[in-house]
Amino acid sequence: MNVLEAVVLLTTSSEIKSGQVLKFCNQFQTMKYCGLKFIIITNNSDYDPELLLFLNNTRIFQSIEIYDIKIPKLEDIYIKDQKTYKTAWPRLGLTSGPNILFFEAIKHCFKFNTSLFLETDCRLKENCFTVCKNYISSSCDFLISGSKYLGDAAEWSPSVFLFHHLNGVAFYRTGSEELQNLIKNVENFIAVNVVNKRSLSYDVAIMAFIYESIEHNKLERTYYRTVDSKLIGNTFILNYSLEGNTDTQEINKYFPNHVILHSKLGI
């Protein structure tokens, strides 16, 4: 049986200093004890530890841990416009910062059966973790379960990888050897593509790796189709994370049972 064991918040020192992490965690105040482990993983320790002292009063989790990945400054970058970046690309491309944060975080979570990855722009309903635990315990054979982009932002593109990929805010079967192998292959896939000046964010890269493996690897085509079938959507997590028109009334109409809204609306 699948079991949700950890809630992981991917964040940065700048979000801690700005108070965004505090605003996110304030959502826990009205929640009941869930028995999950809460893990904050950040890019560096360039913040005052006292900014996280409020966590001492958070009682809904079995434990709370904070890990600093210590990403080197030259690799801790997120560049949208390739033309503006004139120096040598880091190993994991122009979105190297978020990529390193994700890969180090998910490797840390390989010891858990299933982990829920969140970001600070996620709005959580009061029953969020109860619903999530029930969903995972009754779920089918999946590797990643999350949401495609559902909004109407101008930067959204119907290209195959962007259209079909699941956003990084999702459930991951972190204890699965199959997922662990996929993650390692995707990290290498991103690094190989950097040589050709192709920069991929980790969530898009997961889908790109699978699709290109199906297309070019005839010997393992059936296997990667099977992997693709285990990346599934759910309506508990909704991805409206790009800048666009997010109509909460419409969201509640179409997805009344959602408990996590990944949106730029703020908390």
Read off the pLDDT of residues 54-85 as tens digits, 9 standing for 90 and up. 999 999 999 999 999 999 999 999 998 888 88
Helices 96-108 and 177-194 pack at an angle, to 10 degrees, of 160
Alpha carbon distance 41, 6 (integer Å): 12
Question: Is residue 161 predicted with pLDDT exceeding 90?
Answer: no
What's the pLDDT at 158?
A: 52
DSSP H helical ranges for the chain? 13-18, 20-25, 96-108, 128-137, 160-164, 177-194, 202-216, 221-229, 248-254
Task: State pLDDT tens for residues 120-145.
Answer: 999 999 999 999 999 999 987 899 99
Alpha carbon distance 137, 159 (integer Å): 34
170-172/114-118 β-pairing: antiparallel
156 neighbors 162 (Cβ within 8 angstroms): yes
Helical (H) or strand (E) element with 8: strand 4-11
Per the DSSP assignment, residues forming a β-bridge with 260 are 124, 237
Which CATH number is 4-263 given?
3.90.550.10
